[in-house]
């Protein structure tokens, strides 16, 4: 190890921290402004508004699509003058801080907040009207209103209540009496202290005649703890946490409450042990209601091994259920790309399935019989963006259909219910978003790539361009010396599967020099680490600023990394959760070094957060002769103690059913079938003896997602092996690091500069932003 450090010192290179500071996410966002246009469509109208920021400041625009007209929503100078008059102080017309700006459909006006005061803006009269303090609104965060605003639902001490809204002193109606901690009707079912009204985990039916609750019983699930040591007295936080293979699994049930009778039914959904009703990753939570009737609802029911899904229709009056159709998919049903569309209150359905190995859309009748395939081909449909029931048309998100384009880039298409007339409606060679009006006559899409700034366009439903809306303004960023990232593709270790990625270089890049290469990683399987759109925030910004220190930084996909490509690609890592991504990452870096003489293959770094923290440590320990330095933050290093949704879903869980003898209620011995589950996943701690390079482990002390125990277990084994490593615990950090993020980013620069460039800064303090 000493020899390694001396060698680095002799080969010291300058680290450009000034350039890295110039291109942090905060600084780039200030220079760029908006990079995505969010269209806020008015209900039942072909009109929308949006907010946009560029070199001319922040502005709000109003678009009438049918008239092809775009104009400012209000005059910024007049608005600032009216606000100045209200508050007796000046307002910057180009940077108005209007919080929670929104359109109130019921009152047909815009609302926003300034300094905890609500304002109403009447667009037809250009009139600003001062409203109430937000204190009243704060008091009603517990309230869940019925769609007709007649009733409010809420919880108190774990039970469910309703009350009428027209009288603030109206009688509270208690609907349940069996709520308790961990078997609660509260949104926060772990709360034990409050006797006040709290938000309930309720969902109203559209007709306001009923509401339903997906209630979960966590009482038998084991507890987990984190300690906040920074409090005046260290404070223990207790929560329930299901780990893979454990017997005590939470239990789902759905209760439907009739408002008039104040009675409820429990839906008859019991089938599999430890099943889930809707839940994690399912679109809409996997529970669906219709717009006109509360007599029925639809549920996606999944077994614990994740390979079977039922589409269930439930009678909300009797609680009776029936299975419309079922689907089995090995090794698991990909709930991340799930979609169930209920057409005309259940006259027919649209279903997304990967039964051919590619996600495609299918049409079923009201009894659950397959009518026809809607889409067909060797490409992925991953979601339905909109359905036009009148025009019998589906708008869907597709990947990999357009030749000679990146298969990770979303394009949008329209197709008739019968499968005819399929058409591409977002033609640019880019990654796309999609937002359509209620009439389904017009849509807005953002088109961009990592190397192509966003262009926002209004089109009609045939895909014809109606208006160019906005483009990202790079003027100030380019003046600062910004250089665009580059896209690339390499082969996977199998030699034929195409992988895609993005490369960042220093703004002062010199192709005649040698640069260490650093790989930013996240193994998937729900998302790959490289940006698909233009971005100056998040992980893309962190990679860009790190490159400025003096590195080539790359992020690329790997087999098993993404559900946006065919099923075999997505399932590649199943039952191999620690190792599946590593070969492809190493092989990809080797190919890039073979192409580019400026890459120094003797100085390879790797970093990542969460799943990337887990992968970066695994890479350093699995290939110690290749990866020299790793920074691993919040890593789930031992997936045997991570949550069941991640570990059982992506690695696998075995089910075993045995006949056991038990006593019945009469004390008689009877035979009963009991299913147990097990899961064993290789961990990073098992590889501790392999450490040769430099490793920095970072974790939040109160991370209640990936528990600090993940990092402590790796650290313990490294200590036992006598390995030298570095470690940072952020005292009050959750999984995302929060207020410590700026500090962590500069640690990242420093660590790689020291161990890949041999650079030791004299200033020991970090230049943190205010």
Q: Tell me the per-residue pLDDT of 378-388, one tens digit each, with 9 for 90 and over.
A: 999 999 999 99
Radius of gyration of the chain (CA): 28
The span from the CA of 606 to the CA of 552, in Å, is: 11
Strands (E), 134-269: 144-145, 151-156, 159-164, 173-174, 202-204, 210-217, 223-228, 235-240, 251-258, 264-266
Residues 120 and 22 in one domain: no
Q: What is the pLDDT of residue 463?
A: 95
- Give the SS3 label for residue 580: coil
Q: How many CA atoms lie within 13 A of 295 on its CB side?
A: 4
CB-CB contact of 28 with 543 (8 Å): no
The span from the CA of 10 to the CA of 510, in Å, is: 21
514-544, pLDDT tens digit by residue?
999 999 999 999 999 999 999 999 999 999 9
Q: What is the pLDDT of residue 658?
A: 84
Residues 489 and 570 in one domain: yes
**Under-70 pLDDT residues of the chain:** 1-12, 134-139, 168
Largest CA distance in the chain: 85
Residue 708, in any domain of the structure: yes
Q: What is the pLDDT of residue 136?
A: 52
- How many other CB atoms sit within 10 Å of the CB of residue 751? 21
Q: What is the pLDDT of residue 105?
A: 80
The span from the CA of 489 to the CA of 640, in Å, is: 34
Residues in the chain, overall count: 770
Residue 400, in any domain of the structure: no
Question: CA nearest 267: which of 310, 306, 312?
Answer: 312
CB-CB contact of 558 with 581 (8 Å): yes
Residue 621, in any domain of the structure: yes
Q: Which phi and psi (to 5°) does residue 641 adopt?
A: -115, 15
Residues 22 and 57 in one domain: no
> How many separate domains does the chain show?
2
**Domain closes at, from 92, 108, 137:** 137
Residue 292, in any domain of the structure: no
DSSP letter for each residue of 608-659: EETHHHHHHHHHHHH-TTT--EEEEES----GGGS-HHHHHHHT--EEEEEE
Residue 177, in any domain of the structure: no
Q: What is the pLDDT of residue 194?
A: 82
Residues 119 and 24 in one domain: no
Residues 510 and 525 in one domain: yes
Residues 552 and 489 in one domain: yes
Q: What is the pLDDT of residue 187?
A: 92
The span from the CA of 345 to the CA of 288, in Å, is: 11
Residues 24 and 86 in one domain: no
- Whole-angstrom CA distances from 626 to 11, 54, 409, 582, 685 are 19, 44, 31, 11, 19
Give the range of the structural domain holding residue 75, as residue numbers without chain letter: 37-137
The span from the CA of 385 to the CA of 394, in Å, is: 8
CB-CB contact of 551 with 753 (8 Å): no
Q: What CATH number is given to the structural domain containing 606? A: 3.40.50.1820
- Give the SS3 label for residue 80: helix
Residues 67 and 94 in one domain: yes
Q: What is the pLDDT of residue 138?
A: 53
The span from the CA of 457 to the CA of 8, in Å, is: 51
Residues 114 and 96 in one domain: yes
**Domain closes at, from 109, 137, 165:** 137
Residue 426, in any domain of the structure: no
Question: Burial code of 456-484, b = ≥16 C-beta within 10 A, e = fewer?
Answer: bbbbbbebeebbebbebbbeebeeeebbb
Residues 26 and 53 in one domain: no
Residue 158, in any domain of the structure: no
Task: State the DSSP code for 9.
Answer: H
Q: What is the pLDDT of residue 6?
A: 36
Residues 22 and 85 in one domain: no
Q: What is the pLDDT of residue 677?
A: 86
Residues 581 and 700 in one domain: yes
Q: Which phi and psi (to 5°) does residue 720 adopt?
A: -60, -35
Q: What is the pLDDT of residue 368?
A: 98
**Domain closes at, from 86, 109, 137:** 137
């Amino acid at each position: 190890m000493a020899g390694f450090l001396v060698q680095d010192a002799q080969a010291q290179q300058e680290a450009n921290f000034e350039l890295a500071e110039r291109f942090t996410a905060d600084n780039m966002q200030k220079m760029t402004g908006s990079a995505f246009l969010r269209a806020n469509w008015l209900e039942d109208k072909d009109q929308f508004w949006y907010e946009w920021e560029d070199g001319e400041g922040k502005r709000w625009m109003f678009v009438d699509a049918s008239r092809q007209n775009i104009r400012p929503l209000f005059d910024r100078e007049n608005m600032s003058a009216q606000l100045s008059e209200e508050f007796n102080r000046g307002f910057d017309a180009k940077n108005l801080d209007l919080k929670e700006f929104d359109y109130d459909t019921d009152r047909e006006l815009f609302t926003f907040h300034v300094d905890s005061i609500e304002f109403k803006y009447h667009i037809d009269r250009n009139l600003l009207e001062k409203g109430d303090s937000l204190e009243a609104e704060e008091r009603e965060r517990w309230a869940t209103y019925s769609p007709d605003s007649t009733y409010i639902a809420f919880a108190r001490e774990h039970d469910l209540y309703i009350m009428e809204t027209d009288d603030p002193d109206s009688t509270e109606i208690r609907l349940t009496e069996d709520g308790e901690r961990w078997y609660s009707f509260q949104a926060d079912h772990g709360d034990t202290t409050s006797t006040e009204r709290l938000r309930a985990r309720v969902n109203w039916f559209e007709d306001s005649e009923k509401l339903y609750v997906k209630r979960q019983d966590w009482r038998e699930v084991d507890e987990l703890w984190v300690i906040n040591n920074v409090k005046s007295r260290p404070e223990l936080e207790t929560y329930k946490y299901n780990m893979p293979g454990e017997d005590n699994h939470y239990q789902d049930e759905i209760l439907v409450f009739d408002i008039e009778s104040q009675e409820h039914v429990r839906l008859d959904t019991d089938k599999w042990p430890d099943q889930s009703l809707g839940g994690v990753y399912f679109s809409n939570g996997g529970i669906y209601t219709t717009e006109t009737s509360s007599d029925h609802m639809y549920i996606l029911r999944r077994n614990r091994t994740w390979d079977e899904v039922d589409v269930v229709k439930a009678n909300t009056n009797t609680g009776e259920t029936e299975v419309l159709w079922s689907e089995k998919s090995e090794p698991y049903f990909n709930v991340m790309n799930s979609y169930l569309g209920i057409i005309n209150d259940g006259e027919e359905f649209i279903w997304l399935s990967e039964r051919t190995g590619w996600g495609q859309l299918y049409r079923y009748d009201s009894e659950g019989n397959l009518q026809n395939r809607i889409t067909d081909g060797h490409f992925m449909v991953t979601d339905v963006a909109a359905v036009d029931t009148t025009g019998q048309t589906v708008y869907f998100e597709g990947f990999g259909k357009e030749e000679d384009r990146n298969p990770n880039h979303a394009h949008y298409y329209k197709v008739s219910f019968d499968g005819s007339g399929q058409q591409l409606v977002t033609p640019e060679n880019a990654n796309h978003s999609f937002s359509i009006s209620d009439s389904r006559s017009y849509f807005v899409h953002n088109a961009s790539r990592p190397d192509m700034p966003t262009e926002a366009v209004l089109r009609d439903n045939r895909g014809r361009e109606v208006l160019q809306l906005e483009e990202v303004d790079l003027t100030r960023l380019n003046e600062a010396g910004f250089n665009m990232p580059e896209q690339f593709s390499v082969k996977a270790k199998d030699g034929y599967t195409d992988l895609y990625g993005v490369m960042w270089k220093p703004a002062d890049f010199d192709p005649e020099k040698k640069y260490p290469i650093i790989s930013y990683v996240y193994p998937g399987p729900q998302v790959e680490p490289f940006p698909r759109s233009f971005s100056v925030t998040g992980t893309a910004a962190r990679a860009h600023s790190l490159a400025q220190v003096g590195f080539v930084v790359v992020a690329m996909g790997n087999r098993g990394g993404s559900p946006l490509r065919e099923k075999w690609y997505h399932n590649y890592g199943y039952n191999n959760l620690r190792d599946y991504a590593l070969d492809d990452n190493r092989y990809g870096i080797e190919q890039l070094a073979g192409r580019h003489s400026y890459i120094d293959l003797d100085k390879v770094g790797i970093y990542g957060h969460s799943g990337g923290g887990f992968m970066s440590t695994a890479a350093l320990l699995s290939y110690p002769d290749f990866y020299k330095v790793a920074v691993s933050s919040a890593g789930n290093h031992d997936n045997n103690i991570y949550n069941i949704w991640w570990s059982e879903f992506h690695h696998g869980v075995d089910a075993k059913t045995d006949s056991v003898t038990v006593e019945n209620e009469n004390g008689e011995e009877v035979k009963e079938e009991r299913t147990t589950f097990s899961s064993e996943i290789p961990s990073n701690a098992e590889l501790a003896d392999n450490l040769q390079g430099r490793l920095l482990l970072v974790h939040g002390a109160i991370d209640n997602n990936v528990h600090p125990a993940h990092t402590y277990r790796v650290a313990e084994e490294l200590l036992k092996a006598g390995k030298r490593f570095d470690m940072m615990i952020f005292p009050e950090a959750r999984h995302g690091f929060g207020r410590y993020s700026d500090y962590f980013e500069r640690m990242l620069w420093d660590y790689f500069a020291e161990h890949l460039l041999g650079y030791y800064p004299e200033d020991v303090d970090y230049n943190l932003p205010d």
